[in-house]
Amino acid sequence: MIPIRDTISSKNYPVVNNLLIGVNLFVYLAELFHGSGLSRFDYIYGLVPARYSIPQIESYFSFGQQALSLVSFMFLHGGFWHLLGNMWTLYIFGDNVEDRLGHLRYLFFYLICGMTSGMTHLILNLHSNIPVIGASGAIAGVMGAYLLLYPYSKILTLIPIIFIPWFVEIPAFFFLGFWFFMQFLQATGGDSAASGIAWWAHVGGFLFGMLFLKVFLCLPGAGDTHGISRITARKKTNKLQVIRPIGFENDPTLYGTIIITPYEAISGAYKMVNISWGFYKKLFRVVVPSGIKDGGVLRLQGEGKKNTDGKAGDLLLKVTIQEY
């Protein structure tokens, strides 16, 4: 299952989430320049449990290096696909959690989730001399928070069936619950250290993310950070929208609603629309012309139900203009 996006739109631009993605990309590019010295680089800036538990190894590192590794390890990655998978997941789930916590609180939340996920791995693999790197633990914390905040959100998921892409909406509680179950199964099913993947860091990050969310939501002003959210408010709705049209018996026409902002009503917009009607799933592009009014209708010819003669009706999308 490959998550494409969720159906909950964030009201503000995720400036911190995007910054975290940018930092991870920058550090990955820096890693590429180390060439044959990359293993040494990962050992110094990755999280190595033996550095904290074996005195003979610990003596080679200063207090500052030991403290730095508790943070720096979550910005390193073992390869392009490792980086891509992590950043894509962070892109999908992080914006909504940042939206709820506020920008600065989200930054602290992300870092503390990453650190506690690393500590979970360290404690359960105390004498391992293998560096742990990657943002997976911190992102697992974001996923745990998302589960509590938006359990009934839908995750648009790509399930490849041979060469046929199948898009299906999966409730967040099922998608994230299944993900956590698989991480826990992998962590308890064998030698997680030997597998090369810090499964316990994923498990710890997810659980601590749920715990820390409760703590951060109790802080005053958790939904806004000194008015910054007013500056970062979005002017556009998400480019991808999921629409569930309705139909009537003996009427081949389907009826749905597309949401845009006042800014998009003036300037026009392009949207990727995923139509979900029964077993019918289709993704296509919709052009919203500039100057359209609230209540205006976009007609998509041939995208409705089929008549008895095999001809398809139209899909009518009513335009709703609302502040984001």
Domain ranges (residues) in the chain: 2-231, 240-321
Instruction: Kindly state the greatest CA–CA separation across the chain.
Output: 81
CA angle 154, 239, 267 (to 5 degrees): 145
Share of the chain above pLDDT 70, in %: 93
Q: For 190-194, 256-260, 285-289, which range has the lowest pLDDT when averaged over its residues?
A: 190-194
The CATH class that applies to domain 240-321 reads: mainly beta
Q: How many CA atoms lie within 13 A of 294 on its CB side?
A: 7
- State if pTM tops 0.95: no
Q: How far is CA 77 from the centre of its chain?
A: 17
Q: How far is CA 33 from the centre of its chain?
A: 28
Q: For 4-8, 190-194, 277-281, which range has the lowest pLDDT when averaged over its residues?
A: 190-194
Burial 60-88 (b: 16+ CB within 10 A, else e): ebeeeeeeebbebbbbbbbeeebbebbbb
Residues whose CB is less than 8 angstroms from the CB of residue 296 and which lie 6 or more positions away in sequence, other chains included: 318, 319
- Mean pLDDT along residues 231-253: 80
User: In the structure encoding, which two tokens stand for residue 141, read together?
Assistant: 């914390």
Q: For residue 262, which phi and psi values (nearest 5 degrees)?
A: -55, -35
| CATH, domain 2-231, list 3.40.50.300, 1.20.1540.10, 3.40.640.10, 3.30.70.20 | 1.20.1540.10
Q: Is residue 301 exposed (0-12), middle (13-18) or buried (19+ Cβ within 10 Å)?
A: exposed
**pLDDT score for 119:** 94
- Mean pLDDT along residues 139-151: 96
Residue pLDDT, tens place only, 64-90: 999 999 999 999 998 999 999 999 999
Q: For 41-55, 64-78, 99-113, 275-289, which range has the lowest pLDDT when averaged over its residues?
A: 275-289
Q: For residue 210, which phi and psi values (nearest 5 degrees)?
A: -65, -40
Q: For 55-59, 71-75, 162-166, which range has the lowest pLDDT when averaged over its residues?
A: 162-166
User: In the structure encoding, which two tokens stand for residue 39, read together?
Assistant: 């293993």
pLDDT band at 229, cuts 50/70/90?
low
Q: Whose structure tokens read 């200063």? A: 62
**pLDDT score for 228:** 67
